[in-house]
Chains A and B, each alone.
Chain A
């Protein structure tokens, strides 16, 4: 009867041997290829370090001006421009400027990377059902597996620092843009596609002139989610040594400093809202030709 009350577990030493052999093979892999993989990412690290140094070295009025200009270019809305400038000034006034610049640097690179990698994958998925079937479980895994599970092999291969942090953030932030690009393109009206076929469009022309423009709302929803998730991962990234707003938050969690955690958390929220509104408004303006109602 005990067979039914307690699940028959694999023999203890066999289970342990299995775990140890997986560990050992990974250790050998990392010993052999670790340095090569690290040097593969060196250009990216170099770029990240330079970008962070640039943001930190630029005088703050210029940064606020640039943010305001970007907000204007993206949204043409005075409310957003003034809001962004005020938010950044408050962030600086409360002593969070350097951390925010570090976070902005890594999140910008991460978002651009995710979008640049994610949209082509999404497009590829939308073209082939088999590709979709194969990639969706991988996306599921990327979104649900707890971060430290894939951080352990990354730590062993690449150590602590910006590149492992970037990889960790990208793994979590990539799936939304891939899924939603795939969804958006698949949902484009079949009749419109037929019409473009009848006008003699090549597949590439169909993609660029019909499918992507018509699926822009969904794609931009994906971009929005990617930005939000990237910023949400800031604290996890700081657990493996990435500088930024995550570091004071970790300190606040570990030492129970409420105000410190709250202020830095709100700074992350402000960054998320600013990034998001700018990209959303840009997306809406790109679709003005469709007559989408602007609030």
Chain B
């Protein structure tokens, strides 16, 4: 019978069409529950909240944000496979364990550079230059010869160098660089600010009263923008990966002989667990791979957050409303429309 001649091919086409529709619908619905780390600083909060909005509205996931910080979040993802994603993993702090994890198939680096224009290192306040004009243009190495320019409140005979709080990778790096540059011998004290609030508070106080301040910070951040901190040239070249990854970022007892070095090129990755990579599917992994914030945009958002005292969720809405040209490039147009509709 004539109609049967085309029946099976037609049936096959219909079945294939149906199954592909079902399968793709299932792929999105399968997204399910996702846990994203929202680390305890402004840019990380913003990234986590933006991811939450896009994954929920655009890809149908159920996103839960949990607090975190560089070291504990990485340790948790490595050991326990939770949370599923860390949008702003500062990779220098965990270079070797991260590579091992990727090689052993536990974690995936979904985006090698989600923020451009990064800078970590040592900064001074403008007040320092006002009080000591000869400091202008000096490298860090030269400044280290003058602890008397940064008197430590509790012991004015020493200079205060403010390091990082516990839990941040830079705490270890600064402690080892302190040793490498022989700062204790030169009359410096490595001041532990105790917390992110302590570090910010110490900069805010020094900047507001026009006093000198020397310590660690990073960009893009609102503090750097607000108080116009000046980035210092280290005065020594970067002393190689082996020194940095094998010694400087390790705890003091594992780093016997740190060599003085400029700060490594900062690297931030978005890392996800392999479980989430499979669960989320190709589309989500592709979105994360495309999701790159230009440094100027991120800086602008951070200054906005500081001026408006906005939290991550408000900032995410502001970002998605005002910077459509940036984020619409990260996703397909139908996902973009879904996100816009959900705003």
**Does B336 touch A at the CB level, under 8 Å?**
no
Task: Report whether B153 and A256 are in contact in the complex, using a CB–CB cutoff of 8 Å.
Answer: no
The count of residues in chain B whose C-beta lies closer than 8 Å to any C-beta of chain A is: 27
Task: Tell whether, in the assembled complex, residue B202 and residue A159 are in contact, meaning their CB atoms are under 8 Å apart.
Answer: yes
A17-35 at interface with B (beta carbon < 8 Å)? 19-20, 23, 27, 30-31, 34-35
Instruction: Given A155-B205, A250-B166, A256-B75, decide whether A238 and B197 contact each other with a Cβ distance below 8 A.
Output: no
Chain A nearest Cβ from B42, distance in angstroms: 16
Given A34-B209, A156-B205, also A256-B72 (CB < 8 A): yes
User: Do A239 and B309 have beta carbons less than 8 Å apart?
Assistant: no
B208 CB within 8 Å of chain A: yes
CB of A219 within 8 Å of the partner chain: no
- Give the residues in chain B near A243, CB-CB below 8 Å: 192
The smallest beta-carbon distance between B170 and chain A, in angstroms, is: 12
Q: Which of A19, A20, A31, A254 has the most CB of B within 10 A?
A: A254
Are A160 and B309 in contact, with the CB atoms below 8 A? no
Q: How many residues of A contact B (CB 8 A)?
A: 35
CB-contact partner of A49 in B69, B71, B154, B205, under 8 A: B154
Q: Decide yes or no: A247 and B192 within 8 Å by CB, A161-B154, A254-B69 being known contacts.
A: yes
| Nearest Cβ on chain A to B3's Cβ, whole angstroms | 59
Instruction: Give Cα A155–Cα B207 distance, bound, in whole angstroms.
Output: 13
B-chain residues with CB within 8 Å of residue A161 when the two chains form the complex: 153-154
Evaluate contact between B208 and A45: CB separation under 8 angstroms.
no
The verdict on B193 contacting chain A, using a C-beta distance below 8 Å, is: yes
B204 interfacial contact with A, CB 8 Å: yes
Q: How many angstroms between the C-alpha atoms of A239 and B192 in the bound complex?
A: 9
Contact B198 A240 (CB under 8 A): yes
Q: Which residue of B lies closest to A247 (CB)?
A: B192
Contacts of A49 on B, CB cut-off 8 Å? 154-155
| Contact across chains for A240 and B194 when beta carbons are under 8 A apart | yes
| Contacting pair B209 A238 (CB below 8 A) | no
Residues of chain B in range 201-260 having any CB-CB distance to chain A below 8 Å:
201-202, 204-206, 208-209
B168 to chain A, nearest CB (A): 8
B182-202 near A? 1/0 per residue, CB < 8 Å: 000000000111110110011
In the bound assembly, the distance between CA atoms of A199 and B194 in angstroms comes to 58
Q: How far is the CA of A81 from the CA of B206 in the complex (A)?
A: 47
Residues of B within 8 A of A239 (CB): 165, 194-195, 197-198
A158 — nearest CB in chain B belongs to which residue? B205
* Closest chain B residue to A165, Cβ basis: B194
Interface membership of chain A positions 224-250, coded 1 if the CB is closer than 8 angstroms to chain B and 0 otherwise: 000000000000001111110001001
B167 close to A254 (CB less than 8 A): yes
C-alpha gap A174/B171 in the complex (Å): 34
Asked whether any CB of chain B lies closer than 8 Å to the CB of A152, the reply is yes
- Does B333 touch A at the CB level, under 8 Å? no
Give the shortest distance, in Å, between A98 (CB) and chain B (any CB).
14
Q: Verify if A110 is at the interface (C-beta below 8 Å from B).
A: no
Is B195's CB under 8 angstroms from A159's CB?
Answer: no
The prevalent SS among residues of A at the interface is: helix
A148 within 8 Å of B by Cβ? yes
**A182, B60: Cα distance in complex, Å:** 60
CB–CB B201/A156 < 8 A:
yes
Interface membership of B308, Cβ < 8 A: yes
Contact with B along A88-119 (1 / 0, CB 8 A): 00000000000000000000000000000000
For B201, the closest partner residue in chain A by CB is A155
- In the bound assembly, the distance between CA atoms of A158 and B191 in angstroms comes to 15
Question: Closest residue of chain A to B162, judged by CB?
Answer: A160
CA distance A151 to B193 in the complex (A): 13
1/0 contact string of B153-166 vs chain A (CB within 8 Å): 11100000000011
Distance in angstroms between the alpha carbons of A160 and B163 in the assembled complex: 12
B194 touching A241 by the CB < 8 A rule? yes
- In the complex, the answer to whether B201 meets A240 with C-beta atoms within 8 Å is yes
Provide the residues of chain B in CB contact with A155, threshold 8 Å.
Answer: 197-198, 201-202, 204-205
Instruction: Give Cα A116–Cα B192 distance, bound, in whole angstroms.
Output: 31
In Å, the complex CA distance between A153 and B220 comes to 25
User: In the complex, are the beta carbons of B72 and A242 less than 8 A apart?
Assistant: no
Q: Is the CB of B75 within 8 A of A159?
A: no
Q: CA–CA, A152 to B206, complex, Å?
A: 14
CA distance A97 to B165 in the complex (A): 22
Measured between alpha carbons, how far is A242 from B195 in the docked complex, in Å? 11
> Which partner residue on chain A sits nearest B251 by CB separation?
A255
Q: 10 interchain pairs (CB within 8 A)? A: A155-B197, A156-B205, A156-B208, A159-B153, A161-B153, A162-B154, A240-B194, A253-B166, A254-B168, A255-B72
Top 6 A-B pairs ranked by shortest CB distance? A254-B167, A155-B201, A251-B166, A239-B194, A239-B195, A254-B166
Q: Which residues of A contact B (CB under 8 A)?
A: 16, 19-20, 23, 27, 30-31, 34-35, 45, 49, 148, 151-152, 155-162, 238-243, 247, 250-251, 253-256
Instruction: Spell out B's residues near A (CB within 8 Å).
Output: 69, 71-72, 75, 153-155, 165-168, 191-195, 197-198, 201-202, 204-206, 208-209, 308-309
